[in-house]
Amino acid sequence: MRDYNDLVKLAARAAARAASYIRTASRPAPQAWTEKGQNDFVTEVDRAAESLIAEALVREVPGSLVVGEEFTPDVATSGEVVWIVDPLDGTTNFLHGYPQFAVSIGCAVRGELCAGVIHDVTRDVVYRAARGGGAWLGDARVRVSSVVDPRRALVATGFPFRELSNLDDYLRQFAAVTRAASGIRRAGSAALDLAHVAAGHFDAFWELGLAPWDIAAGVMLIREAGGRVTRLDGSEALLTHGDIVGGNPAMHEWLLGLLRTA
């Protein structure tokens, strides 16, 4: 078994390959968009990027599994080495030319997250983390923020655009956070939101109804940057579909309590 830093390097190379392709790809015309579900689009760019990633990862680690949003969303995440891939997180942003989308690759070994890479495509910067090795933005180590007062907190979120049955619950949560924090941001890429929490740009983040490929790499980054990430019930089992709350330790505890009572 390779060590975790080796897995990060492999993921970073695969993500860079996909990011390079995405930057040069033409944005598909609206009639070429496929709607997987309500407000959830996919294009040939997503599919091609995932193919590039899967080919690179499996070639380097024969026998490893790739769980990807487009091709293999039902594969279990408990194999020896499982790559958890979102080839284009923020597809709707990409389709509209809004520069907030990323390639996200997490890696689990025997069911435990051990590595994560998020490549910000338009800025061409890479966030990476290996278990026990800290979180990094390029060559600089990053840490979660030191904000402890909610009135000074900048909180990121994502709207429940897929599962509108959660909308009423979410709106109550949104109102509670709006009243308590200094600001809320919704940029449209959960992977990048989590990376920005790890780097201390955001103090906390929450969203409902996310998939493992949306969050796997970001969870690794926040944990290695000194933060906490859980479900709303406090569980740290995050390799399934569900809600997520993350932040520096103080803001995670505050946000978790606020959302539970909203």
Residues 57 and 169 in one domain: no
253 with 209, same domain: the answer is: yes
Is the same domain home to 54 and 168?
no
- Please determine, for residue 37, whether its predicted confidence score (pLDDT) is greater than 70: no
Structural domain range at position 98: 4-142
Same domain membership, residue 251 and residue 193: yes
- The verdict on 119 and 200 lying in the same domain is no
Pick from 118, 142, 166: which residue ends a domain?
A: 142
Ordered DSSP codes for 110-175: TTEEEEEEEEETTTTEEEEEETTS-EEETTEEE-------GGG-EEEE---SS-GGGHHHHHHHHH
Q: Residue range 72-81: average pLDDT?
A: 67
3-class secondary structure, 49 = helix
CATH of the domain at 111: 3.30.540.10
Over 80: is that where the pLDDT of 243 sits?
Answer: yes
98 and 212: one domain?
Answer: no
* 158 in the same domain as 36: no
Regarding whether 170 and 192 lie in a shared domain, the answer is yes
- pLDDT (tens digit per residue) in 152-189: 999 999 998 777 788 999 999 999 999 999 999 999 99
The kind and range of the H/E element at 54 are helix 44-60
Percent residues over pLDDT 70 in the chain: 92
Residues 6+ apart with CB under 8 A from 197: 144, 156, 203, 204, 205, 218, 221, 222, 225, 227, 246, 247, 248
CA distances, 156 to each of 45, 181, 197, 202 (Å): 27, 11, 8, 7
Domain tally, the chain? 2
Residue 40 has pLDDT above 60, yes or no: no
Residue finishing a domain among 84, 116, 142 = 142
Nearest-CA neighbor of 241 among 198, 212, 213, 199? 212
Out of 126, 142, 158, a domain closes at 142
Residues 48 and 19 in one domain: yes
Q: Are residues 136 and 164 in the same domain?
A: no
User: Quick one: 94 and 165 in the same domain?
Assistant: no
**Which strand (E) or helix (H) includes residue 220?**
helix 212-224
**pLDDT of 75 higher than 70:** no
- With contact defined as beta carbons under 8 Å apart, do 114 and 12 qualify? no
pLDDT at 70: 66
